[in-house]
Amino acid sequence: MANDIYAQTQAFAAICQAGALIQDLANCGTWDEDAAAILIKSLATDSTNDLEQLYPPKYLKKGYFSLVQCFSGNTGEQRYLQLAKYVILFVRLERKVTKSATAAERLARRLSDNTAEARSKHLSVLDPDLIANLSNIYKSEISDTGLLKFNIYGKKNMLQQLHIQHKIRALILAAIKAVILWRSAGGRRRSFIFKRSRLVECANTRLKQI
């Protein structure tokens, strides 16, 4: 999968989709359940070889669209400028998490344990208990450790609601997973500026196919 521009685009679209869903939650208190489910579900697998199966294109439309809007250079809309900042923070956060082998192993173990528990209880992908557990994992393994300050912008009355906080934290974990997959496909922060137009082109192609 290394240096596969199509795989890079798919993983990068998943990163963008996580950020877009966070914006929806922070401002409206709602999320597209199908779009959220594939991201949350990705946390339950260790596979990095079949992104088509992990991120079915028809459920990644929001991510492809957001990728194009954020990085085509044709929009200065505040929403997409903010979303681009989230994407940059996701990439930085993944690097900080994976830089420590101990931290990365502990996070992977807790996610695996959470998946096993959810399956034993027959919880659905977006079950509130599963989302709350993911939120607690993010808080204890990332937020409370001070790895990176991650400010979420939105309406105060939305951000104060506990169930929305849980969903946002779970989506940040899913974004970290997507960044890992993007890197596995050859994505690099330094080379992003040179590949940005190709990512946008591939995303546009995907949108036409969906």
Q: Which of 28, 35, 33 is nearest to 79 (CA)?
A: 28
Residue 188 pLDDT grade (very low, low, confident, very high; cuts 50, 70, 90): confident
Q: What is the dihedral of CA 43, 41, 203, 90, to 10 degrees?
A: -30
What mean pLDDT value characterizes the chain? 90
Handedness of CA 147, 161, 67, 3 (dihedral sign): positive
Task: State the pLDDT at residue 203.
Answer: 95
Whether residue 101 is predicted with pLDDT greater than 60 in this model: the reply is yes
Give the mean model confidence (pLDDT) for residues 184-209.
Answer: 88
User: Confidence class of residue 78 from pLDDT cuts 50, 70 and 90?
Assistant: confident
Q: Would you say residue 2 has pLDDT above 60?
A: no
pLDDT band at 3 (very low <50, low <70, confident <90, very high): low
pLDDT band at 170 (very low <50, low <70, confident <90, very high): very high
User: Rounded mean pLDDT of 43-60?
Assistant: 84
